[in-house]
Amino acid sequence: MSHPKLLDSALFALLHKDDIAGFNKARPKDGPIDMRGGDFRGLDLRELNAEGVDFTDAYFRSADLRGVDFQNAILEGASVAHAQISGAYFPPRLKAAEILMSVQFGTRLRYDPE
């Protein structure tokens, strides 16, 4: 089991400074963005452009994810315990029950096999 970590990345640093607009502007236009295992606990990530971001095994405990579109992000193994998720879009392979279990009990998100 992995533990949340502070990533050595300029983009990650922008998110921890609550500079979501700066992150969205600085992110590469194409290709994946590696945020695997990142510690996003308690951050306000509203307005985040999560397109193509790999959040595998990330921690979002008590984060504000309202309205974030994660449809084309990777959330396998992430935890959204006690996060605010109203209006957030999740990848289609994440079932509602799986998301609810993670919010309520902190379980890791598991994709539904296709």
In order of 6, 25, 26, 112, the CA distances from 13 in angstroms are 9, 14, 12, 32
28-81 pLDDT, tens per residue? 988 889 999 999 999 999 999 999 999 999 999 999 999 999 999 999 999 999
Handedness of CA 16, 75, 68, 72 (dihedral sign): positive
pLDDT number for residue 4: 84
Rg (alpha carbons) of the chain, rounded to whole number: 13
Cβ atoms of residues 52 and 70 within 8 Å: no
pLDDT number for residue 29: 86
